[in-house]
Structure 1
Amino acid sequence: MSKHKKRSPNASATGNIRIIAGSHRGRKLPVLMAEGLRPTTDRVKETVFNWLMPYIPGAHCLDCFAGSGGLGFEAQSRGAEQVTFIELDKAAAKQLTHNAQLLKASNVIIENNSALTFLQKPSKKFDVVFIDPPFRKQFVQQTVQLLNQGWLAEQALIYIEMESDASSTELAGLPINWQLLKEKVAGQVSYRLYQFTA
Protein backbone atom coordinates (compact mmCIF):
# COMPACT_ATOMS: atom_id res chain seq x y z
CA MET A 1 0.00 0.00 0.00
CA SER A 2 1.44 3.35 -0.97
CA LYS A 3 1.76 6.16 1.52
CA HIS A 4 -0.33 9.26 1.00
CA LYS A 5 1.86 11.90 -0.58
CA LYS A 6 1.18 15.48 -1.53
CA ARG A 7 1.87 16.24 -5.15
CA SER A 8 2.53 19.48 -6.95
CA PRO A 9 0.46 20.04 -10.10
CA ASN A 10 3.49 19.32 -12.27
CA ALA A 11 4.64 16.19 -10.47
CA SER A 12 5.63 13.27 -12.65
CA ALA A 13 4.81 9.61 -12.15
CA THR A 14 6.67 8.30 -9.13
CA GLY A 15 5.44 4.75 -8.77
CA ASN A 16 3.94 1.89 -10.73
CA ILE A 17 1.32 -0.81 -10.71
CA ARG A 18 1.67 -4.30 -12.17
CA ILE A 19 -0.89 -6.15 -14.23
CA ILE A 20 -1.05 -9.67 -12.85
CA ALA A 21 -2.66 -11.70 -15.62
CA GLY A 22 -4.21 -11.63 -19.07
CA SER A 23 -3.02 -10.09 -22.32
CA HIS A 24 -0.83 -7.53 -20.49
CA ARG A 25 0.46 -9.94 -17.85
CA GLY A 26 3.55 -8.63 -16.03
CA ARG A 27 3.27 -5.16 -17.56
CA LYS A 28 4.11 -2.27 -15.23
CA LEU A 29 2.32 1.04 -15.62
CA PRO A 30 3.46 4.37 -14.15
CA VAL A 31 1.19 6.04 -11.58
CA LEU A 32 1.08 9.44 -9.92
CA MET A 33 1.49 9.46 -6.17
CA ALA A 34 -1.35 11.91 -5.58
CA GLU A 35 -2.63 12.64 -2.09
CA GLY A 36 -5.12 9.95 -1.11
CA LEU A 37 -4.10 7.63 -3.94
CA ARG A 38 -3.94 4.12 -2.54
CA PRO A 39 -3.40 1.47 -5.22
CA THR A 40 -4.88 -1.93 -4.39
CA THR A 41 -2.03 -4.25 -3.41
CA ASP A 42 -1.12 -7.15 -5.69
CA ARG A 43 -2.14 -9.64 -3.00
CA VAL A 44 -5.64 -8.18 -2.65
CA LYS A 45 -5.98 -7.72 -6.41
CA GLU A 46 -5.09 -11.35 -7.04
CA THR A 47 -7.75 -12.53 -4.59
CA VAL A 48 -10.39 -10.22 -6.07
CA PHE A 49 -9.75 -11.33 -9.64
CA ASN A 50 -9.80 -14.96 -8.59
CA TRP A 51 -13.31 -14.23 -7.34
CA LEU A 52 -14.21 -12.44 -10.57
CA MET A 53 -12.43 -14.75 -13.03
CA PRO A 54 -15.56 -16.29 -14.63
CA TYR A 55 -17.29 -12.92 -15.00
CA ILE A 56 -14.68 -10.55 -16.49
CA PRO A 57 -14.41 -11.81 -20.11
CA GLY A 58 -16.90 -9.84 -22.21
CA ALA A 59 -18.04 -7.70 -19.26
CA HIS A 60 -18.70 -3.97 -19.21
CA CYS A 61 -16.80 -2.70 -16.17
CA LEU A 62 -16.91 0.56 -14.22
CA ASP A 63 -14.02 1.73 -12.01
CA CYS A 64 -15.65 4.45 -9.89
CA PHE A 65 -12.62 5.96 -8.14
CA ALA A 66 -10.01 4.82 -10.63
CA GLY A 67 -6.89 6.43 -9.13
CA SER A 68 -3.98 4.38 -10.44
CA GLY A 69 -6.30 2.32 -12.64
CA GLY A 70 -5.02 -0.92 -11.16
CA LEU A 71 -8.43 -2.59 -11.00
CA GLY A 72 -9.74 -1.35 -14.33
CA PHE A 73 -6.60 -2.16 -16.31
CA GLU A 74 -6.48 -5.62 -14.72
CA ALA A 75 -10.05 -6.19 -15.92
CA GLN A 76 -9.15 -4.91 -19.40
CA SER A 77 -6.16 -7.23 -19.56
CA ARG A 78 -8.35 -10.18 -18.58
CA GLY A 79 -10.81 -9.73 -21.42
CA ALA A 80 -13.41 -7.16 -20.37
CA GLU A 81 -15.42 -5.88 -23.33
CA GLN A 82 -15.13 -2.27 -22.13
CA VAL A 83 -13.82 -0.49 -19.03
CA THR A 84 -14.93 2.98 -17.93
CA PHE A 85 -12.63 4.79 -15.50
CA ILE A 86 -13.89 7.74 -13.42
CA GLU A 87 -11.18 9.87 -11.82
CA LEU A 88 -11.60 13.37 -10.36
CA ASP A 89 -7.91 14.33 -10.17
CA LYS A 90 -6.98 15.87 -13.52
CA ALA A 91 -3.36 14.72 -13.50
CA ALA A 92 -4.31 11.18 -12.47
CA ALA A 93 -6.94 11.06 -15.25
CA LYS A 94 -4.30 12.22 -17.73
CA GLN A 95 -2.01 9.42 -16.52
CA LEU A 96 -4.81 6.90 -17.03
CA THR A 97 -5.20 8.12 -20.62
CA HIS A 98 -1.46 7.80 -21.17
CA ASN A 99 -1.44 4.27 -19.74
CA ALA A 100 -4.37 3.24 -21.94
CA GLN A 101 -2.33 4.45 -24.91
CA LEU A 102 0.71 2.47 -23.71
CA LEU A 103 -1.45 -0.67 -23.67
CA LYS A 104 -3.10 0.22 -27.00
CA ALA A 105 -6.39 -0.31 -25.14
CA SER A 106 -9.07 1.00 -27.49
CA ASN A 107 -11.90 -0.35 -25.30
CA VAL A 108 -11.19 2.05 -22.41
CA ILE A 109 -13.18 5.20 -21.56
CA ILE A 110 -11.69 7.72 -19.12
CA GLU A 111 -13.94 10.31 -17.46
CA ASN A 112 -12.23 13.17 -15.60
CA ASN A 113 -15.11 13.69 -13.19
CA SER A 114 -16.37 13.06 -9.67
CA ALA A 115 -17.89 9.59 -9.40
CA LEU A 116 -20.84 11.04 -7.49
CA THR A 117 -21.48 13.59 -10.26
CA PHE A 118 -21.03 11.06 -13.05
CA LEU A 119 -23.50 8.65 -11.44
CA GLN A 120 -26.30 11.22 -11.15
CA LYS A 121 -27.79 10.30 -14.55
CA PRO A 122 -27.72 6.61 -15.55
CA SER A 123 -26.65 6.18 -19.18
CA LYS A 124 -25.75 2.49 -19.47
CA LYS A 125 -25.60 -0.70 -17.43
CA PHE A 126 -22.46 -2.36 -16.08
CA ASP A 127 -21.73 -6.01 -15.32
CA VAL A 128 -18.85 -5.40 -12.89
CA VAL A 129 -18.29 -2.30 -10.75
CA PHE A 130 -15.24 -1.43 -8.63
CA ILE A 131 -15.68 0.94 -5.67
CA ASP A 132 -12.34 1.78 -4.06
CA PRO A 133 -12.64 5.40 -2.87
CA PRO A 134 -10.18 7.48 -0.83
CA PHE A 135 -10.37 6.50 2.82
CA ARG A 136 -12.17 8.61 5.45
CA LYS A 137 -14.42 10.36 2.93
CA GLN A 138 -17.69 8.40 3.44
CA PHE A 139 -18.10 7.92 -0.32
CA VAL A 140 -19.18 4.28 -0.28
CA GLN A 141 -22.78 4.68 0.85
CA GLN A 142 -23.48 7.56 -1.58
CA THR A 143 -21.93 5.64 -4.49
CA VAL A 144 -23.93 2.51 -3.71
CA GLN A 145 -27.24 4.39 -3.64
CA LEU A 146 -26.53 6.04 -7.00
CA LEU A 147 -25.46 2.78 -8.63
CA ASN A 148 -28.70 1.16 -7.54
CA GLN A 149 -30.71 3.66 -9.58
CA GLY A 150 -30.24 2.16 -13.02
CA TRP A 151 -26.52 1.52 -13.55
CA LEU A 152 -26.38 -2.20 -12.77
CA ALA A 153 -27.05 -5.05 -15.18
CA GLU A 154 -28.99 -8.06 -13.93
CA GLN A 155 -26.73 -10.11 -11.62
CA ALA A 156 -24.04 -7.39 -11.71
CA LEU A 157 -21.08 -7.84 -9.36
CA ILE A 158 -19.85 -4.99 -7.17
CA TYR A 159 -16.44 -4.94 -5.50
CA ILE A 160 -16.03 -2.62 -2.50
CA GLU A 161 -12.67 -1.86 -0.87
CA MET A 162 -12.51 0.38 2.18
CA GLU A 163 -10.94 0.91 5.59
CA SER A 164 -11.87 -2.03 7.83
CA ASP A 165 -12.64 0.08 10.91
CA ALA A 166 -15.41 1.95 9.06
CA SER A 167 -16.93 -0.91 7.10
CA SER A 168 -19.69 -1.71 9.59
CA THR A 169 -21.13 1.82 9.51
CA GLU A 170 -20.46 2.55 5.82
CA LEU A 171 -22.07 -0.70 4.68
CA ALA A 172 -25.00 -0.60 7.09
CA GLY A 173 -27.30 0.99 4.55
CA LEU A 174 -26.67 -1.30 1.60
CA PRO A 175 -29.72 -2.08 -0.54
CA ILE A 176 -31.53 -5.30 0.34
CA ASN A 177 -31.09 -6.52 -3.25
CA TRP A 178 -27.28 -6.66 -2.84
CA GLN A 179 -26.11 -10.10 -1.70
CA LEU A 180 -22.70 -10.48 -0.06
CA LEU A 181 -20.75 -13.22 -1.86
CA LYS A 182 -17.20 -12.87 -0.51
CA GLU A 183 -15.36 -10.86 2.11
CA LYS A 184 -11.83 -10.61 3.48
CA VAL A 185 -9.71 -8.29 5.60
CA ALA A 186 -6.05 -7.54 4.90
CA GLY A 187 -4.53 -5.29 7.55
CA GLN A 188 -6.48 -2.03 7.59
CA VAL A 189 -8.37 -2.87 4.41
CA SER A 190 -11.73 -4.62 4.15
CA TYR A 191 -12.81 -5.87 0.75
CA ARG A 192 -16.07 -7.49 -0.32
CA LEU A 193 -17.89 -8.74 -3.38
CA TYR A 194 -21.64 -8.25 -3.75
CA GLN A 195 -24.16 -9.35 -6.36
CA PHE A 196 -27.05 -7.17 -7.47
CA THR A 197 -30.49 -8.52 -8.32
CA ALA A 198 -33.05 -6.28 -9.99
Structure 2
Amino acid sequence: MRIIGGRSRGLHLAPVGAGDAQAQLRPTSDRVRESIFNLLINGGHGNLVQGARVLDLFAGTGALGLEALSRGATSATFVEQGKVALALLTRNIALMRAEGETEVRRRDATQPGENRGTGYDLVFLDPPYGKGLGEKAIAACVAGGWLAPAAVIVWEEGTAPLPPAGLDLIDQRRYGDTHVTLLRMPG
Protein backbone atom coordinates (compact mmCIF):
# COMPACT_ATOMS: atom_id res chain seq x y z
CA MET A 1 0.00 0.00 0.00
CA ARG A 2 1.42 3.34 -1.05
CA ILE A 3 0.53 6.97 -1.72
CA ILE A 4 -0.49 7.12 -5.41
CA GLY A 5 -0.09 10.81 -6.30
CA GLY A 6 0.90 14.28 -5.17
CA ARG A 7 3.81 15.45 -3.05
CA SER A 8 4.26 12.08 -1.26
CA ARG A 9 3.76 9.95 -4.37
CA GLY A 10 5.37 6.53 -4.03
CA LEU A 11 5.62 6.62 -0.22
CA HIS A 12 5.03 3.12 1.13
CA LEU A 13 2.68 3.03 4.09
CA ALA A 14 3.02 0.65 7.06
CA PRO A 15 2.06 -2.91 6.09
CA VAL A 16 -1.23 -4.13 7.51
CA GLY A 17 0.21 -7.58 8.16
CA ALA A 18 -2.36 -9.93 9.63
CA GLY A 19 -4.57 -6.93 10.32
CA ASP A 20 -7.32 -7.16 12.89
CA ALA A 21 -10.16 -9.50 11.93
CA GLN A 22 -12.36 -8.19 14.74
CA ALA A 23 -11.93 -4.59 13.56
CA GLN A 24 -12.43 -5.70 9.95
CA LEU A 25 -9.40 -3.79 8.65
CA ARG A 26 -9.86 -3.72 4.90
CA PRO A 27 -7.64 -1.03 3.36
CA THR A 28 -8.83 0.49 0.09
CA SER A 29 -6.72 -0.99 -2.69
CA ASP A 30 -4.33 1.29 -4.59
CA ARG A 31 -6.42 0.79 -7.75
CA VAL A 32 -9.71 1.80 -6.11
CA ARG A 33 -8.03 4.72 -4.31
CA GLU A 34 -6.60 5.96 -7.61
CA SER A 35 -10.04 5.73 -9.22
CA ILE A 36 -11.63 7.65 -6.33
CA PHE A 37 -9.10 10.47 -6.62
CA ASN A 38 -9.51 10.61 -10.40
CA LEU A 39 -13.24 11.17 -9.80
CA LEU A 40 -12.56 13.82 -7.16
CA ILE A 41 -9.97 15.72 -9.20
CA ASN A 42 -10.96 15.10 -12.83
CA GLY A 43 -14.62 14.06 -12.53
CA GLY A 44 -16.11 17.25 -13.96
CA HIS A 45 -16.93 18.88 -10.62
CA GLY A 46 -13.67 20.81 -10.24
CA ASN A 47 -10.82 19.66 -8.02
CA LEU A 48 -12.63 18.62 -4.85
CA VAL A 49 -9.38 17.81 -3.01
CA GLN A 50 -7.26 20.96 -3.39
CA GLY A 51 -7.60 23.09 -0.25
CA ALA A 52 -10.17 20.78 1.35
CA ARG A 53 -10.52 20.05 5.04
CA VAL A 54 -10.83 16.26 5.14
CA LEU A 55 -12.68 14.00 7.58
CA ASP A 56 -11.73 10.31 7.30
CA LEU A 57 -14.34 8.19 9.13
CA PHE A 58 -13.57 4.55 9.91
CA ALA A 59 -10.07 5.70 8.97
CA GLY A 60 -8.27 2.37 9.38
CA THR A 61 -4.73 2.90 8.08
CA GLY A 62 -5.53 6.48 7.05
CA ALA A 63 -4.63 5.86 3.40
CA LEU A 64 -7.56 7.89 2.02
CA GLY A 65 -6.99 10.96 4.19
CA LEU A 66 -3.22 10.83 3.68
CA GLU A 67 -3.69 10.52 -0.08
CA ALA A 68 -5.87 13.65 0.05
CA LEU A 69 -3.14 15.52 1.97
CA SER A 70 -0.57 14.44 -0.60
CA ARG A 71 -2.82 15.82 -3.33
CA GLY A 72 -3.41 19.25 -1.82
CA ALA A 73 -5.92 19.01 1.04
CA THR A 74 -5.06 21.44 3.85
CA SER A 75 -5.77 19.13 6.79
CA ALA A 76 -7.18 15.74 7.71
CA THR A 77 -8.98 14.52 10.81
CA PHE A 78 -9.08 10.76 11.27
CA VAL A 79 -11.81 9.05 13.30
CA GLU A 80 -10.99 5.48 14.33
CA GLN A 81 -11.42 3.38 17.45
CA GLY A 82 -9.67 0.08 16.62
CA LYS A 83 -6.43 -0.46 18.53
CA VAL A 84 -4.55 -2.10 15.62
CA ALA A 85 -5.84 0.47 13.14
CA LEU A 86 -4.85 3.37 15.42
CA ALA A 87 -1.29 2.05 15.65
CA LEU A 88 -1.07 1.75 11.84
CA LEU A 89 -2.66 5.17 11.37
CA THR A 90 -0.20 6.83 13.76
CA ARG A 91 2.70 5.11 12.00
CA ASN A 92 1.47 6.22 8.56
CA ILE A 93 1.06 9.84 9.67
CA ALA A 94 4.66 9.75 10.92
CA LEU A 95 5.92 8.12 7.70
CA MET A 96 4.35 10.96 5.72
CA ARG A 97 5.58 13.56 8.23
CA ALA A 98 2.06 14.93 8.38
CA GLU A 99 1.68 15.41 12.14
CA GLY A 100 1.13 19.17 11.72
CA GLU A 101 -1.71 18.69 9.25
CA THR A 102 -3.55 15.86 10.98
CA GLU A 103 -5.65 15.11 14.02
CA VAL A 104 -6.61 11.65 15.25
CA ARG A 105 -9.82 11.20 17.23
CA ARG A 106 -10.25 7.86 18.95
CA ARG A 107 -13.99 7.33 18.86
CA ASP A 108 -16.82 5.48 17.18
CA ALA A 109 -17.46 7.04 13.76
CA THR A 110 -21.21 6.47 14.20
CA GLN A 111 -21.15 8.62 17.37
CA PRO A 112 -18.71 11.46 16.74
CA GLY A 113 -20.57 13.89 19.00
CA GLU A 114 -20.80 17.59 18.28
CA ASN A 115 -18.21 19.27 16.06
CA ARG A 116 -16.94 22.39 17.76
CA GLY A 117 -15.02 23.66 14.75
CA THR A 118 -15.58 24.39 11.08
CA GLY A 119 -17.36 21.75 9.00
CA TYR A 120 -15.38 19.47 6.69
CA ASP A 121 -15.40 19.83 2.89
CA LEU A 122 -14.49 16.26 1.95
CA VAL A 123 -15.49 13.16 3.91
CA PHE A 124 -14.23 9.63 3.35
CA LEU A 125 -16.54 6.95 4.70
CA ASP A 126 -15.29 3.36 4.56
CA PRO A 127 -17.24 1.38 7.20
CA PRO A 128 -17.29 -2.40 7.60
CA TYR A 129 -19.50 -3.57 4.74
CA GLY A 130 -23.14 -4.56 5.12
CA LYS A 131 -23.77 -3.38 8.69
CA GLY A 132 -25.62 -0.10 8.08
CA LEU A 133 -22.81 1.86 9.74
CA GLY A 134 -22.41 4.32 6.83
CA GLU A 135 -25.98 5.55 7.20
CA LYS A 136 -25.52 5.96 10.98
CA ALA A 137 -22.23 7.84 10.56
CA ILE A 138 -23.68 10.23 7.98
CA ALA A 139 -26.74 10.95 10.14
CA ALA A 140 -24.52 11.59 13.18
CA CYS A 141 -22.21 13.88 11.19
CA VAL A 142 -25.13 15.90 9.84
CA ALA A 143 -26.67 16.19 13.32
CA GLY A 144 -23.32 17.10 14.90
CA GLY A 145 -22.38 19.83 12.40
CA TRP A 146 -19.37 17.97 10.96
CA LEU A 147 -20.20 18.71 7.30
CA ALA A 148 -19.67 22.06 5.58
CA PRO A 149 -22.26 23.34 3.10
CA ALA A 150 -21.74 21.54 -0.25
CA ALA A 151 -19.43 18.97 1.42
CA VAL A 152 -18.70 15.88 -0.65
CA ILE A 153 -18.92 12.41 0.91
CA VAL A 154 -17.06 9.48 -0.66
CA TRP A 155 -18.74 6.32 0.64
CA GLU A 156 -17.29 2.85 0.06
CA GLU A 157 -19.65 -0.07 0.62
CA GLY A 158 -20.14 -3.68 -0.48
CA THR A 159 -23.44 -2.85 -2.21
CA ALA A 160 -24.58 0.43 -3.73
CA PRO A 161 -26.23 2.38 -0.89
CA LEU A 162 -29.25 4.63 -1.31
CA PRO A 163 -28.41 8.29 -0.71
CA PRO A 164 -29.75 9.45 2.66
CA ALA A 165 -32.50 12.09 2.54
CA GLY A 166 -31.16 15.57 1.90
CA LEU A 167 -27.98 14.46 0.10
CA ASP A 168 -27.52 14.60 -3.66
CA LEU A 169 -26.00 11.70 -5.58
CA ILE A 170 -23.05 12.93 -7.67
CA ASP A 171 -21.70 9.62 -8.94
CA GLN A 172 -21.76 5.90 -8.19
CA ARG A 173 -19.32 3.31 -9.52
CA ARG A 174 -18.39 -0.29 -8.92
CA TYR A 175 -14.80 -1.55 -8.65
CA GLY A 176 -14.86 -5.30 -8.09
CA ASP A 177 -16.64 -5.89 -4.76
CA THR A 178 -16.45 -2.21 -3.80
CA HIS A 179 -19.17 0.31 -4.63
CA VAL A 180 -18.06 3.95 -4.45
CA THR A 181 -20.81 6.54 -4.00
CA LEU A 182 -20.19 10.28 -4.14
CA LEU A 183 -22.76 12.42 -2.34
CA ARG A 184 -23.03 16.18 -1.82
CA MET A 185 -24.55 18.13 1.05
CA PRO A 186 -26.85 21.00 0.09
CA GLY A 187 -25.00 24.28 -0.51
TM-score range, shorter chain: 0.7 to 0.9
3-state SS of the aligned residue for 1:40? coil
Check whether the contact 1:22–1:78 (CA below 8 A) recurs between aligned residues. Answer: yes
Question: CA-atom RMSD, angstroms?
Answer: 1.4
Point out where structure 1 has 5 or more consecutive residues left out of the alignment.
1-16
Output one character per residue of 1:135-157: Cα deviation in whole Å (capped at 9) or x when no partner.
23220111111122221111110
1:42 corresponds to which residue? 30
3-state SS of the aligned residue for 2:13? strand
Fraction of identical pairs, as percent: 36
Deviation of the 1:197 alpha carbon? 0.6
1:152 equivalent in alignment to 2:140? no
3-state SS of the aligned residue for 2:39? helix
2:168 corresponds to which residue? 179
For residues 15 and 104 of structure 2, the distance between their equivalents in structure 1, rounded to whole angstroms, comes to 15
3-state SS of the aligned residue for 1:114? coil
For residues 123 and 31 of structure 1, the distance between their equivalents in structure 2, rounded to whole angstroms, comes to 34
Task: Provide the aligned length of Structure 1 versus Structure 2.
Answer: 175
Output one character per residue of 1:110-166: Cα deviation in whole Å (capped at 9) or x when no partner.
112111222x212230000011001232201111111222211111100000012xx
Point out where structure 2 has 5 or more consecutive residues left out of the alignment.
42-46
TM-score w.r.t. length of structure 2: 0.88
1:123 corresponds to which residue? 116
Q: Which runs of 4+ in 1 moved over 3 A?
A: none
Output one character per residue of 1:22-73: Cα deviation in whole Å (capped at 9) or x when no partner.
1110111114312111111122111111121202121100000001211111
Check whether the contact 2:8–2:70 (CA below 8 A) recurs between aligned residues. Answer: yes
Match among 35, 56, 74 for residue 63 of structure 1:
56
TM-score w.r.t. length of structure 1: 0.83
Residue identity matched to 1:47:
S
2:95 corresponds to which residue? 102
Q: Sort the Cα spacing of 1:84 and 1:31 in 2 relative to 1 into closer, same or farther, 3 A.
A: farther
1:188 equivalent in alignment to 2:177? yes
